[in-house]
Structure 1
Amino acid sequence: MATTHVLAGVVVGLGTLALVPEAGPVVLAGALGGLAPDLDLLGDHRKDLHFPGYGSAAAAVAVLVAAAAPSPATLSVATFLVAAAVHAVSDVVGGDLTLRPWEATGDRAVYEHVRGRWHRPRRWIRYDGAPEDFLVGVALALPALATLDGPARWGIAGVLVVSAGYALVRRSLVDAGERLVAAAPDPVLAAVPETLIEDLR
């Protein structure tokens, strides 16, 4: 789920900060990088903003630039791109893109632009919001909870609360969404991006 990717990005940021204590807002950059690919939910999800190949290459270049000319700006950009690449690559180990991924009927995990094809889901994490997804998020949050303080620590705790809530209702959300779309008047549906509701019709 998106919150797990955010927490993975925070870990990337903490790693940068451990290497370069004066790195600047790299933890925030990592969190945003972990979230950014999922902004394609409004378009072709796991394709429009997910770049396992090109994203990894861009991250590698950014890391080299940051190593050669370290500054808050270069380190933040590198951290953002590494977190975004980790997000895209790690989606391969999750479930598919169907409405009910726990049924394991789909064969698309994340699109690889380099090869022009979809990676198949490995399903090590069966679906977004699965119990194991939440547990991975908890594990990723531990370093941040141990090292951050103040609002940042509360922010991490808040992300975990959101993760827990989503994991609890994940399966029921699909049925609720279908009922909501079926009951909504056409003018309301016309105002909602089609990509968000097409599978619920």
Structure 2
Amino acid sequence: MATTHALWGLVLALPVLAVYPESAPVAFAAGFVGGLAPDLDLYTGHRKTLHYPVYASIVTAPALVLALFAPSTWTVALAVGLAAASLHAVADVFGGGLELRPWHGTSDRAVYSHYHDRWLSPRRVIRYDGAPEDLLLGGLAAVALVAVGNEAVTGVALALVAVSTVYVLLRKRLAGIAEFLVGLLPDPLLPYVPARYRGT
């Protein structure tokens, strides 16, 4: 779930709170945005356009070194944001495939690796986005954030868990609702709808 990625992006900012607290607010914001940003490609080449499991990881390494040896609000924010985006792309490999009903396990596409110039296969450790284990993973991140985060971070973490819970409860119904709504669209708009929503 996007909310799970956001929660773990926030977790990546926790060390900043411990060692460089004056930059913690910006680091938390960067972790949140970095955790969500790859999914901005949801309707345009999802898990390909903005997902870079290899390249994002490579770029994150020097950003972390820079933040360690030249710490400032902006170097720390850059490192946390890139780390969160990288974690998102890598984590998607361990989820389900890129399909409308990923619990069926019919897709062999998890994330596109631009480095390898091919789709990486889903490992399905988390069977699909919105699976109960996805909620558990997000909940673990929230526990860490509530335990050591500040009041604002705690509020965001609890809100994300609440949204996640509703999504998990409705997840399988949402696929049918999406298909129904797409069926109501006029034909000229269909080419702009991702193939998985059109049953292709």
**TM-score, normalising length from structure 2?**
0.92
- Confirm or deny: 8 A CA contact 2:51 2:89 kept in the other structure: yes
Judge conservation of contact 2:14–2:149 (CA < 8 Å) in 1. no
Q: CA deviation at 1:143?
A: 1.2
Q: Shift in Å at residue 185 of structure 1?
A: 4.5
Q: Is the CA contact 1:42–1:193 (under 8 Å) kept in the aligned structure 2? A: no
Cα pair 2:139 2:161 within 8 Å, conserved = yes
Quick one: distance in 2 between partners of 1:5 and 1:160? 12
Letter matched to residue 104 of structure 1? G
Give the aligned partner of residue 2 of structure 2. Answer: 2
Rounded to whole Å, the distance in 1 between the matches of 2:6 and 2:185 is: 35
> Could you list the per-position Cα deviations for residues 63-92 of structure 1 after superposition, in whole angstroms to 9, with x for gaps in the alignment?
111122110000000000001101111111
CA distance in structure 2 between the partners assigned to 1:69 and 1:200 by the alignment = 46
* Residue type at the aligned position of 1:19: V
The CA deviation at 1:193 is 7.7
* % identity of equivalent residues: 46
Aligned to 1:23, the other structure's residue is in SS state: helix
What does 1:67-78 align with in structure 2 at a 5 Å threshold? 67-78=68-79
Q: Residue 94 of structure 2 aligns with which residue?
A: 93
> Does the CA contact (< 8 Å) of 1:5 and 1:34 recur in 2?
yes
Partner amino acid, structure 2, of 1:122: R
Question: Structure 1 residues 139, 193: closer, same or farther in 2, change over 3 A?
Answer: farther
Matches within 5 A, 1:40-119: 40-119=41-120
Give the superposition deviation at 1:28.
1.3
Q: Deviations over 1:12-65 (max 9, x none)?
A: 011232232233411111111101111110210111111111100111011111
1:131 is matched with 132
The gaps in structure 2 that reach 5 residues or longer are none
Which residue of 2 is the match for residue 144 of structure 1? Answer: 145
Structure 2 distance, partners of 1:63, 1:149, is 23
Question: What is the RMSD of the two structures over their aligned residues, measured on CA atoms?
Answer: 1.7
Specify the alignment match of 1:194 in structure 2.
192
Q: Secondary structure at the match of 1:17?
A: helix
Task: Go from structure 1 to structure 2 and tell me whether the alpha carbon gap of 1:193 and 1:26 turns closer, same or farther (over 3 Å shift).
Answer: farther
1:16 counterpart residue number:
16
Paired residues of 2:111 and 2:120 also in contact (CA < 8 A): yes
Tell me whether 1:179 sits opposite 2:195 in the alignment. Answer: no
Structure 1 unaligned blocks of 5 or more: none
> Bigger shift: 19-28 or 73-82?
19-28
Is the CA contact (8 Å cut-off) linking 1:134 and 1:167 kept in structure 2? yes
4+ runs deviating over 3 angstroms: none
| Distance in structure 2 (CA, Å) of the matches to 1:64 and 1:131 | 36
TM-score normalised by L of structure 1: 0.92
Partner of 1:120: 121
SS in 2 for 1:22: helix
Separation in 1 of the partners of 2:121 and 2:114?
A: 14
